[in-house]
Amino acid sequence: MNLYAVRAIYRFEMARTWRTLMQSVASPVLSTSLYFVVFGSAIGSRITSVEGISYGAFIIPGLIMLSLLTQSISNASFGIYFPKFVGTIYELHSAPLSYIEIVMGYVGAAASKSVLVGLIILATARLFVDYHIAHPLWMLAFLLLTAVTFSLFGFIIGIWADNFEKLQVIPLLVITPLTFLGGSFYSIHMLPPFWQKVTLFNPVVYLISGFRWSFYGLADVSVGISLAATLGFLAACLAVVWWIFRTGWRLKA
């Protein structure tokens, strides 16, 4: 294992974050703060509690997950796409690096950035509403697992994309709508029975449900199912990444 190379890629990607703090950190934190103000004040004044939890506190896990998913995908996809765009991807090919080391560097940096943003949002939420974390270790586990999984997914998108527009297609047109419809701002038990069953086909439901359980011990679906769904998607992403490097798809052309 070439740890020096992994560290070099990791430090290079993290250095880009410190150069663009307004875009990488401040922007998602400010956006999420606006959600607290709008939803916590406007809707929270009408919905006082959901399953015994104040509405402002109830939406915290969903808002963190919304930011975590979009930031993980965005960071990882841009991180690997930019070397393709400028042509420096061939330097990676010629370097004494295995694909595992390349993935560890890029995905590790992307996951670190998104986890940092998630923790800052968690701290910022304290300014707007009181909350408690019933299972802090599980909260961190879900946070890290989700960040790594969707950073891998973003890495795949970055390899697939052949222009900057494609980098935004899946995050904006797929991930964000699924997150809004996945119980970020409500419990799926509030929906009519038919729509509850339809919502279970949304994979983001399981992510948000498991993460919310780590806060308040409440879950729309079984925690075991949430964990299994996340691990299953992680395994699928790992399999796709392995296939990409084995075949050289979109890397060597």
Q: How many CA atoms lie within 13 A of 66 on its CB side?
A: 24
pLDDT at 10 over 90: yes
Residue 106 lies in a domain: yes
Query: How do residues 68-106 score in pLDDT, each as one tens digit?
Result: 999 999 999 999 999 888 888 888 878 888 889 999 999
pLDDT at 11 over 90: yes
- pLDDT at position 34, please? 82
Residue 253 lies in a domain: no
**DSSP-based three-state secondary structure for 50:** strand
As a whole number, mean pLDDT of residues 175-203 equals: 91
Residue 252 lies in a domain: no
* Total domains present in the chain: 1
More confident residue, 93 or 15: 15
pLDDT band per the 50, 70, 90 thresholds, residue 214: very high
Residue 186 lies in a domain: yes
Residue 99 lies in a domain: yes
- pLDDT at position 76, please? 95
Q: Enumerate the H helices of the chain as residue ranges.
A: 3-19, 21, 27-37, 55-58, 60-86, 89-94, 99-125, 136-160, 164-170, 176-180, 193-199, 203-216, 223-247
**DSSP-based three-state secondary structure for 134:** coil
- pLDDT at position 162, please? 87
- pLDDT at position 1, please? 79
- Among the listed ranges 32-36, 39-43, 176-180, 186-190, which one has the minimum average pLDDT value? 39-43
Q: Is the pTM of this model over 0.75?
A: yes
| Bridging pattern class, strands 49-50 and 53-54 | antiparallel
pLDDT at 253 over 70: no
Query: How do residues 126-171 score in pLDDT, each as one tens digit?
Result: 888 889 999 999 999 999 999 999 999 999 999 999 888 889 888 8
As a whole number, mean pLDDT of residues 221-238 equals: 95
**DSSP symbol at 54:** E
- pLDDT at position 40, please? 67
Residue 183 lies in a domain: yes
Q: State the residue range of the domain holding 224.
A: 3-247
pLDDT at 41 over 80: no
Rounded CA-CA distance 83/244 in Å is 16
